[in-house]
Structure 1
Amino acid sequence: MSRFSVTRRQALLGAGAVAAFGAGGARAQGRGRVVVGTWGGDYARLLTKNIEDPILKPQGWDVVQDQASDAPRRAKMVAERRLPRGTVDIQGFSAANMHEMGEAGVAEEIDYSRLRNAATIIPAMRYKFGVGHIYSGKVVLYNPKLVSAPTGFREAIDPRHGNKIGFIDIQYQFVMIAAALAAGGTVGNIEPGKELLMAAKRAGARLYPTNEAFAAAMQSEEIALGMMWKARGVQWQNAGIPVQTVAPIEGVPMYVSGFSIAKNAPNKAGAYAYMDAMLEKSAQEAFAVDMGFNPTVTNAAVAPDLAARIGFTEQERARLVDLDYAYLARENNAMKDWWDRVFKA
């Protein structure tokens, strides 16, 4: 992949000039249109608030969001693979989806020399086909008014809790991984956890379609415990929902949200500029405050009281478990089929 030089070359995109790249990394000098695929809701709003408006737009970039859930956006990338130019430059995905799109041959292998902020990226957040933007871990949530603090996933889905257990439909992968860890399995072998989930279901565990529906059930005390990203738990605490969090003793599966660049992106210069902007110290710190997720760069400063709420102790960090992304990509269809045909039946 060649690098652009301001003094040698300046490509045009549409009505504006795209960013020029020098040996030091991305330095936007002109204007260009950058199309960003992302989920909607708070995340899209905060991308605008913390990255696009304060960093990219003053540099002259015209940012357009293509909002949808990840499944149709992934399908569109695959459908457009034979086009010389796709319709989206950079896509927001989980680390599992970044791996999947790389294996599908539609995501660009990241050229870290094109990122001015590459040196500050936490090593675990440097992926072959994407870069981590924010991360958290799957923890147990519980209402201390209704149940005693569980030690981990096994206690959280114990059938004795009956219909006070809540699961989230759209998080089937992580629910199955958590149950596997509770049953002595691994992130690369979810089979041991299936019977634990079925036992909880037979005891009356409730299933909610979305994160928001689960939060409403916690708020109304319809349920007393379940599992969720610690970051989301902090958001709910801020909203007055009566939840506390526990880093499970069986291990804390990591959730990483990041960005991949389409292999046929019409504006790769803009895509790298967007990726660099998301890694800026100011943007990373703002996301920690606004969304409760941990920064993926080493130079972000998070206030000690906030760090204690959104982060993990030294002992808890030792229990952080990254996922087996190759396993998930290979087994996802089978996992979804079991979830829909067996667990939800």
Structure 2
Amino acid sequence: MLLSAALAGTSALGWSAAARAQAAKLVVNTYGGRWEKFWRADLLPPFTKASGIEPTLDVGLGKNFIANLRAAGVEKPPYSVLMINENIASMVRAEGFFEPIPLAKVPNLTNVYPNLCNTGDNGVRAIISTIGIGYRKDMVKKPPTSWTDLWTNPEFKGKIGLYQIGNTAAMLFLLMTARIFGGSELAIDRAFAEIKKLLPFQQADWSGTLATLMSRGDVNVAVIDFPEVVALRKKGLPVEMVVPKEGVVAFEQSFNILKHAPVKEAAYKYLDYILDPKVQELMAREFFTSPSNQRSTVAADLAADIPVHGKLMSSIVQFDWPKVNPQVPEITERWNREMK
């Protein structure tokens, strides 16, 4: 495998006999579909070969992982390390499940872009899928350069694609709108007022549905995650992605160490492996994600498909989830009522 070759010298990482002895007890989580396939075929085998740690893979959805955590309680978590969207991670972090990541145990944390490390290193956003504007080149005469073009370009009226509010991307777009027009992600009323001006627009439950709307020409512009635009382009569709001048938002997979992890040392090794620059490069090639390690490089043949990397990682706009999360139920209900 590519990763096996890239990490041929991993014995230098110093994985101990104690960590190897805990191999069968480390539970790591991921999602289904391509994620599960990649974890089983490409990600975990080289880790096991180098460390002797053979994780048990838990495949599911974020809501399943959080339900498992809460059912077990803070003192006896089923996981030692947990991958979850940062907006969700912030909720259980506040419940006391996680603890800061010690740099001495996870040295690759040193090279993660600063804006991807939570305060006090309590969680790190290791897998980044950026979200910006995608548009049909054959249907748009004036390409967008700003989020505000969704409002000001008459070509887009009635041809905009957005996510449904149940998708994190819709919440990210709403918060970005609040910040642009209201000066803060907490300017929710202003965000609703502005987004309603975009009506009528198409709403999709997930990226695949939004991609279908674009391929059919039902929409000529969309707020969409860039990997989906890459997939459309590889199918021959004349689409392009734009990094708006105000910055992009992102699906951020946050990795967290459990305070009462059953096999904490093995969890440190796994997290350090995830943050390894070569592992980050492999994930970029598979998922078109933006590497979180500053020592990773994006190959020339991938640069056009991963527009946010290197210095542009600072263009990722982030929000204060502990302040936003209490409002999510009301925002969701209001969106479903008003965005019709």
Class of the TM-score when normalised by the shorter of the 2 chains: 0.7 to 0.9
Aligned position for 2:108: 117
More strand by proportion, 1 or 2?
1
Please give the per-residue CA displacement for 1:282-319, whole angstroms capped at 9, x wherever unaligned. Answer: 21111111111111112212213423431348896564
Give the SS at the match of 1:142.
Answer: strand
Aligned position for 1:43: 35
Check 1:45–1:190 CA distance in 2 against 1; reply closer, same or farther (3 A cut): farther
Match of 2:44 among 52, 60, 76: 52
Q: Matches of 2:147 and 2:35 in 1, distance apart? A: 27
- 1:237 and 1:243 in contact (8 A); partners too: yes
- Which has the larger displacement, 245-254 or 164-173? 245-254
Q: CA RMSD in A?
A: 2.7
Check 1:118–1:192 CA distance in 2 against 1; reply closer, same or farther (3 A cut): same
Aligned position for 1:258: 254
Aligned position for 1:328: 324
Mapping 1:23-34, distance limit 5 Å: 27=16, 28-30=19-21, 31-34=23-26
Equivalenced residue count is 318
- Asked if 1:155 corresponds to 2:149, the answer is yes
Q: Matches of 2:134 and 2:161 in 1, distance apart? A: 10
- 2:134 and 2:242 in contact (8 A); partners too: yes
Check 1:52–1:314 CA distance in 2 against 1; reply closer, same or farther (3 A cut): closer
Deviation at 1:332, TM superposition (A): 2.3
Deviation at 1:81, TM superposition (A): 1.6
- 1:88 and 1:265 in contact (8 A); partners too: yes
Aligned position for 2:160: 165
Aligned position for 1:106: 97
Q: What amino acid is the match of 1:147? A: V
Check 1:343–1:95 CA distance in 2 against 1; reply closer, same or farther (3 A cut): same
Q: Matches of 1:66 and 1:313 in 2, distance apart? A: 30
Report the TM-score when normalising by structure 2: 0.82
Q: Matches of 1:147 and 1:286 in 2, distance apart? A: 34
Q: Matches of 2:25 and 2:313 in 1, distance apart? A: 39
Q: Matches of 1:124 and 1:26 in 2, distance apart? A: 28
Match of 2:87 among 96, 110, 119: 96
Deviation at 1:130, TM superposition (A): 1.4
Mapping 1:279-290, distance limit 5 Å: 279-290=275-286
Give the SS at the match of 1:321.
Answer: coil
Aligned position for 2:139: 146
Q: Matches of 1:330 and 1:152 in 2, distance apart? A: 29
Match of 1:200 among 198, 206, 210: 198
Q: Matches of 1:26 and 1:130 in 2, distance apart? A: 22
Q: Matches of 1:269 and 1:319 in 2, distance apart? A: 34
Please give the per-residue CA displacement for 1:239-258, whole angstroms capped at 9, x wherever unaligned. Answer: 43432111113332344223
Q: Is there any run of 5+ residues in structure 1 with no aligned partner, and where? A: 1-23
Q: Matches of 2:43 and 2:71 in 1, distance apart? A: 29
Aligned position for 1:18: none
Give the SS at the match of 2:148.
Answer: helix
Q: Percent identity?
A: 22
Mapping 1:264-343, distance limit 5 Å: 264-312=260-308, 319-343=315-339
Q: Is there any run of 5+ residues in structure 2 with no aligned partner, and where? A: 1-12
Q: Matches of 2:71 and 2:207 in 1, distance apart? A: 29
- 2:211 and 2:229 in contact (8 A); partners too: no
Check 1:210–1:237 CA distance in 2 against 1; reply closer, same or farther (3 A cut): same
Aligned position for 1:130: 123
- 1:172 and 1:336 in contact (8 A); partners too: no
